[in-house]
Each structure stands twice: as C-alpha cells, then as structure tokens.
C-alpha cells in the first residue's frame, strides 16, 4: 500500500508513463498487449495505476502542438474524477525529488521522463513505458 498525500491509503500497483496513459484512455492499439492486460488486471482487482503530475503538463504541451487529441486532458481528468477510479495522480513532492537523484541523467536525459521514473522509484512500483531509454535504464519497466 502506498500513502497518498490526501490522507487515504491506496493500493497502487504500477506507474504509467504519459504515452501509456493516453493510449489507455483512448483504447489505442499502440498500447502493448502486456501493458493493457496488466492495467485491466489491476482494474479488475480494484487496485490503481498511478501517473506523475508531470503527465498533465505533458498533455497540455502535446495538445498545444497538435500531437494528441485536443480533449485528452478532459478525458484523463474525467477518468481520474470517477468514483473508485483506476487512475490516480501522484504530485511531484520532496520524496520524488529525492528519488530523482537516483535516476541517472545519462540513462534518461529528458526531465519529464526522469520525473516519471522517479515517481516509480519513490513508490517502489514498476513503470509501464514503451520508452526505450527507460527500458534500458535501471528502472523496472513493463511493456
């Protein structure tokens, strides 16, 4: 069980990278079968998949650039705001900032990716990610 800053206890099973979150909420076939099956297993158990708050910033950026659907943020927030939601936002805090120092910049140079990887490290959870640099790093990944 992971402690969430709002005061509740959650059963978090994995952290999802931004692209995995987007592909999941749009039911895209770009999400690997392994990742989809894991997320569906987590949902069936009544557990949760975390995502870093940096994902929200990335969605704004990608939407502004026309790289993702303009209603992606609305869809994600709708999924998060549901009762018994599968997806839960994890804010970037000092614990994750400290874990960021354990994510090798030489392995994962992009700051948002490092923040997402640090979230997984801080929560001691695997990271659902297609990102090859992350997969080749010391971060436990599932794809």
Closest CA to 132 of 114, 108, 115, 102: 108
The tens place of each residue's pLDDT in the chain, 143 residues long, gives 343 444 445 599 999 999 999 999 999 999 999 999 999 999 999 999 999 999 999 999 999 999 999 999 999 999 999 999 999 999 999 999 999 999 999 999 999 999 999 999 999 999 999 999 999 999 999 99
The pLDDT value given to residue 9: 56
Look up the domain containing 24 and give its range: 2-142
The pLDDT value given to residue 124: 97
Report the CATH number that the domain containing residue 53 is assigned in CATH.
3.40.50.1010
Q: Tell me: the pLDDT tens digits for 69-101?
A: 999 999 999 999 999 999 999 999 999 999 999
> Residue 23's Cα: distance from chain center in Å?
12
- Tally of domains within the chain: 1
The pLDDT value given to residue 10: 58
């Amino acid at each position: 069980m992971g402690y969430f800053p709002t005061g509740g206890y959650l059963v978090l099973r994995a952290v999802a990278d931004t692209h995995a979150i987007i592909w999941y909420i749009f039911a895209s076939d770009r999400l690997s079968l392994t990742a989809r099956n894991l997320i569906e297993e987590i949902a069936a158990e009544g557990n949760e998949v975390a995502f870093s708050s940096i994902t929200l910033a990335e969605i704004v950026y990608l939407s502004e650039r026309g790289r993702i659907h303009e209603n992606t943020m609305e869809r994600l927030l709708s999924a998060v705001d549901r009762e018994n939601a599968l997806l839960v936002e994890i804010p970037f805090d000092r614990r994750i900032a400290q874990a960021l120092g354990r994510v090798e910049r030489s392995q994962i140079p992009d700051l948002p990716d490092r923040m997402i990887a640090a979230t997984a490290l801080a929560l001691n959870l695997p990271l659902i990610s297609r990102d090859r640099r992350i997969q080749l790093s010391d971060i436990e990944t599932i794809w």
